[in-house]
Structure 1
Amino acid sequence: MEALAVRLSGLDAYVDGAMRVITFYDTLMRRRVDLPALARASAGLAECVAAICLHGTGRAIRFAPDGRPAPAPPQPASTTVPITLDDEEIGTVWLERPGPPNPLDEVLLERLALASAAAAERYGPARTTMADPALVELAISPDSDEAARARALRLLGFAAGLPVHVVAVRTRLPLDRIGALICPARPVKAAPLAEVGVLLATTVDRTRFPAGAHAGIGAADSPHRSWQQARTALRFTTPRRPVLHHTDLGAVALLAEVPRDAIRDNTDVAAIARLAAHPEDLETLDAYCATGSLRRAADLLHLHHSSVSRRLAQISDALDIDLTDPMGLTRATFALTAWRLLDG
């Protein structure tokens, strides 16, 4: 394999070779080529595998010198250069040269990195659902300034001014599968953060969440506020109501601001905690609080209303709350909701 300097018309001077490389990439940028075309052209120029990877997608675009996608697995990178946009690293370009690096490899990669940044800004990342968690966190963090947030959203594929809902999800299912279900035809990105999955979507079809998934949905406001709303809504989800929009909560959302110690020390909440040792009683109370009607609760539980009536009488005694009184029902509902927040 000939060295890059020989490849470039037999030039033997480093400066002349570097100028040819710069001219080569200036031409590609004027033609507004996309990332795959950049990687393919770079591989042909360098006569070795050239690759581009944006952090927002996590997918490497690798081409061999013959213009075909490079075979897996990738070889060790001989030279790497970061891709930066607005002073932030958004990806990496590299060469997989079998022998020692060529003197012009670094110049080539620096120009490839510049061209890749321009292409990423122009075309956005590849259409993939899973995203770099660090980039998602930058978009939703309350500590990010607006310029950094806008840049992160742009790199994730969300155009300026596009409404973005943030969804907090607890599920064992792959996040990309859920993203494809709830937002099948519009931009959606997903990433795991700590114990919660995060979805950023321009629209959310709340009816399409799969069974077993619990989700809180924030409003299409500023992403960091939407994230806070989504986490709050997620805390209020139950097996009976596994998907909640923050707007569904209304004033109930204020409960999320009560300190956990204050909730735990409340007499009614403590009574609910004791009742939780009896799952059937807890389920009966939940159904009654959800419906406000003995007969509707019986239908929900698939029990005769007389059986539910007996259970509720026992529960009323255990809680020391009159469940037939509207205020008593309100107390029980708030206590049950607050108790669940302790695990949220």
Structure 2
Amino acid sequence: MKDLAVRLAALDADAGAAVRVIAYFDSLAEAGAGLQSIVRGAAVLAGCPARLDDTARRVHIRVLPDGVTSPSPSAPDDRWPSHDAGSATLRLERSGAAGPVDAMVLERAAGAARTVLDRTRGRAPAADETALVELVVDDDAPADARLRAARHLGLPADAPAFVLVLHSGGVRVKAAPTDPGAHQGGGEAVPQRPGGTPPERAGVGLAVSVLELPVSCRAARVALRFSAAGTDEDPGERVVHFSALGALAALAAVPEPGSVPDVRVLEHAAAGAPWLLPTLHAVATTISLRAAAGRLRLHHSTLQDRVAHAEHLLGWSVRDPHGLLRTQLALTLRRLHHNPPAY
């Protein structure tokens, strides 16, 4: 830390940027981010393509500055700024010496990458369950390494499994139910809390083959964005299955859901009416106002008054089919706005 402080002092105007770099990669490490997320962070922060190459471990990851993964088009250039990450090398694809912020990006990203590589791709089989899970959901890991990790986790290579991503950052891999009539995975795997309190928020991925678990993991992360705290301030389901989202999953691709006009109107109205969000959620997810009143434990006439007030605040009806759909979309986009995608 003393050496780091000295370098920060020498950065002058770049000191703030360097602190943000440190905080960014520290947060990735705390969240148990994989190699692709680390390289993506380096590319986005440096504003140029970044690549991690480890020939011995057959790891080659390249990410463009917009965060999109791209294959390596050519051999690395010796003139590019680089930093060793154990047996791997992290590079920024631009010529010339690394500036102070680039140097900090390389150092922190390489250190994070080395930790992940040593934990998930060491010469001996990983004994830590967290490391095994990281490996089995990593697209960039060799297939034989993922199959070996799956065996250590007790997952048969020829049976379906699914990924569960917790709001706290944890990732779990579970065997899918063998009963074709059972709900596709998830509910029984979500950690239950003592005293009858609700389970931890989670997203449940698709049931897939072991080698397709990275796909299930991405689906689980999308599903997690649709989950809610289940409170008046954030009403909604705490556990969301990707398979149940259907076409709604496409809404996760909306780049800035908070900028949608209906979401802005909803946020403004809810700020002055604490009852608004739970009321709209109940109306949008039940078959009738009477059923919604029962869920909210309100008299039917009280709910009717609330709905009329809500319509006045929003500027549209929430009772006709078009207005109800508009309300459902606004609530969903608001939830996505408050649960941005994590790298």
Alignment check: 8 A CA contact 2:227 2:239 kept: yes
Match of 1:219 among 206, 210, 229: 206
Matching residue within 220, 230, 244 for 1:230: 220
Per the TM alignment, residue 132 of structure 1 is displaced from its structure 2 partner at its CA by 3.7
| Residue 298 of structure 2 corresponds to residue 303 of structure 1 | yes
Cα distance change on mapping 1:157 and 1:88 into 2, 3 Å:
farther
- 1:154 is displaced (CA, Å) by 2.1
* Distance of 1:218 and 1:155 partners within structure 2: 21
Determine the C-alpha separation between the residues in 1 that align with 2:223 and 2:326.
Answer: 21
Partner residue, 1:269:
263
Distance 2:294 2:238 in 1: 20
Unmatched runs of 5 consecutive residues or more in structure 2: 1-119, 177-184, 193-197, 231-235
Give 1:157 shift. Answer: 2.7
In structure 1, distance between residues paired with 2:287 and 2:332: 15
Distance in 2, matches of 1:311 and 1:270, equals 20
CA deviation string 1:11-62 (max 9, x = no partner): xxxxxxxxxxxxxxxxxxxxxxxxxxxxxxxxxxxxxxxxxxxxxxxxxxxx
**CA displacement, residues 162-191 of structure 1 (integer Å, 9 cap, x when unaligned):** 321111122xxxxxxxxxxxxxxxxxxxxx
Aligned partner of 2:142: which letter? D
Could you tell me how far 1:275 is from its partner in structure 2? 2.8
Q: Which amino acid aligns with 2:264?
A: A
Q: Is 2:309 the partner of 1:314?
A: yes
Aligned 1:192-341 pairs, distance under 5 A: 195-203=168-176, 204=185, 206=187, 209=190, 210=192, 211-221=198-208, 222-238=212-228, 239=230, 240-259=236-255, 261=256, 263-277=257-271, 278-341=273-336
Number of residue pairs aligned between Structure 1 and Structure 2: 198
After superposition, give the CA deviation of every residue in 1:259-283 in whole Å (9 maximum; x if it has no partner). 1x2x121110111211332331111
The equivalent of 2:124 in structure 1 is 89
Cα separation, 1, equivalents of 2:227 and 2:121: 40
Over residues 227-251 of structure 1, what are the superposed CA-to-partner deviations in whole Å (9 max), with x where a residue is unaligned? 1111111111232422221111110
TM-score normalised according to structure 2 size = 0.53
Query: Which deviates more, 136-145 or 324-333?
Result: 136-145
Change (3 A) 1:272 1:86: closer
Q: How do 1:104-183 and structure 2 match up within 5 A?
A: 131-170=128-167
Q: Which amino acid aligns with 2:187?
A: R
* Counterpart contact for 1:167–1:198, Cα < 8 Å: yes
Q: Does structure 1 retain, via aligned residues, the 8 Å contact 2:174–2:189?
A: no
| Displacement after TM superposition at 1:205 (Å) | 5.5
Distance 2:206 2:186 in 1: 13
CA RMSD of aligned residues (A): 2.5
Asked whether the equivalents of residues 139 and 150 of structure 1 are also in contact (C-alpha less than 8 Å), the reply is yes
2-side partners of 1:295 and 1:207: how far apart? 32
Percent identity at matched positions? 37
Matched position secondary structure for 1:276: helix
SS state at 1:237 partner: coil
Bigger CA radius of gyration: 1
User: Could you tell me whether the CA contact under 8 Å between 1:275 and 1:282 is conserved in 2?
Assistant: no
SS at match of 2:217: helix
TM-score by length of 1: 0.53
C-alpha change, 1:207 and 1:90, in structure 2 (3 Å) is: closer
